Amino acid sequence: MTTPKLQVQNVWKRFPVEKGEALVAVQDLSMTVQPNEFVSLVGPSGCGKSTMLMMAAGLEPITEGEIKVDGGTVFGPGPDRGVVFQTYTLFPWLTVEENVRFALKKSGVEKSKQDELVRDHLRLVGLEDFARAMPNQLSGGMRQRVAIARALVYRPQMLLMDEPFGALDAQTRMLMQELLLNIWQADRTTVLFVTHDVEEAILLSDRIYVMTARPGRIKAEIVVDLPRPRAFMETEGDERFVKLRKQVLSLIHSEVKQAG
């Protein structure tokens, strides 16, 4: 068996609270993501999905347990993992092009090669005509596309995405999902994708981890055996899709009810 790309072993996260007991955000959570796999993490709001992802990114310290990437323990952020955030994280004083190039600052890639990489990745997300635009001239969907290009430009081994389309309207969201599907089907970068949108998770993933309400643990692991390549329209109609959707929704629903 190959070493997993990402391995989360019995990880706990406690946030200290002013008074009283610490808040347990993630409790004894274990999961793996294999190389070239697309895995989603779904669960009710506030269950610790973002916290889990940020720990994998090395941006949030782990209270207990261990996270490994390619078998090596994670101690901090690194260029082997690209991160796309739920909020807009473009640098507003840089153009689209400069934003993408910023990610290559420490890559050691030479200047002429950088130009090429930036251009290629803007084309990948369909924004080559907006290279000179400022972020405040872009729509929300376009901003997230730049963020994706920026996270991919230094060719990370793995992409960590925290509800990247959460703030977008339904139509834009659909287009972005298709874009991500196409990008992923072309190069199969390993992805860990956080969402609370069940259909999005099924459409995109090979596997889905369903989390419990806080404190977040893994409640179920579901294999999505839908054929690839997938596309929004066809896949949504597939009866296996409908069944999976019902299954995952009922798992989350029971959690929300217990918590509420």
Partner 1 sequence: MANSPIARPKEKIQLLELRREIPRQYYVGAGIGFIAVFVAAWFLLTSFGFVSKIFLPSPAAVWGELMKQIQSGVLWQDAGASLYRIMVGWLLSTLFAVPIGILMGNFHFFEGLFEPFIDLVRYMPAVAFVPLTILWLGVDDSQKFAILFIGTFFQEVLLIMDNVKTVPRDLIQVSYTFGLSKWEILWNVILRAALPGVWDTFRITLGWAWTYLVVAELVAANVGLGYRIMRAQRFLETETIILGILVIGVLGLITDYLFKLSYKKLFPWVIQAR
Ligand X SMILES: Nc1ncnc2c1ncn2[C@@H]1O[C@H](COP(=O)(O)OP(=O)(O)OP(=O)(O)O)[C@@H](O)[C@H]1O
Contact residues toward partner 1 (CB under 8 A) are 54, 57-59, 76-79, 81-83, 85, 87, 89, 91-93, 102-107, 134-136, 151, 154
249 burial type by CB count under 10 A (0-12 exposed, 13-18 middle, 19+ buried) = middle
Smallest gap from residue 122 Cβ to partner 1 (A)? 17
| DSSP helix/strand/coil, 145 | helix
Q: Which does 121 bind (CB under 5 to 8 A by kind): ligand X, partner 1, Mg ion, none?
A: none
Contact (CB, 8 A) for 79 and 106 = yes
Q: How many Cα neighbours within 13 Å face the side chain of 144?
A: 22
Q: Which does 89 bind (CB under 5 to 8 A by kind): partner 1, ligand X, Mg ion, none?
A: partner 1
Smallest gap from residue 176 Cβ to Mg ion (A)? 18
Could you check whether the bond before residue 229 is cis, i.e. omega within 30 degrees of 0? yes
Q: What does the block give as tokens for 73? A: 């323990």
- Nearest 5 degrees, angle CA 182-CA 187-CA 192? 80
Q: Which does 87 bind (CB under 5 to 8 A by kind): Mg ion, ligand X, partner 1, none?
A: partner 1
Which 44-63 residues touch ligand X, going by CB under 6 A?
A: 45-51
- Structure-token match 């981890």, residue found: 209
Q: Mask of contacts with Mg ion, 36-75, x by CB under 5 A?
A: --------------x-------------------------
| DSSP helix/strand/coil, 160 | strand
Q: How many residues does the chain have?
A: 260
Smallest gap from residue 50 Cβ to ligand X (A)? 3
| Cβ proximity to ligand X, 60 vs 120, nearer residue | 60
Residues that bind ligand X (CB under 6 A): 15, 23, 25, 43, 45-51, 196, 214
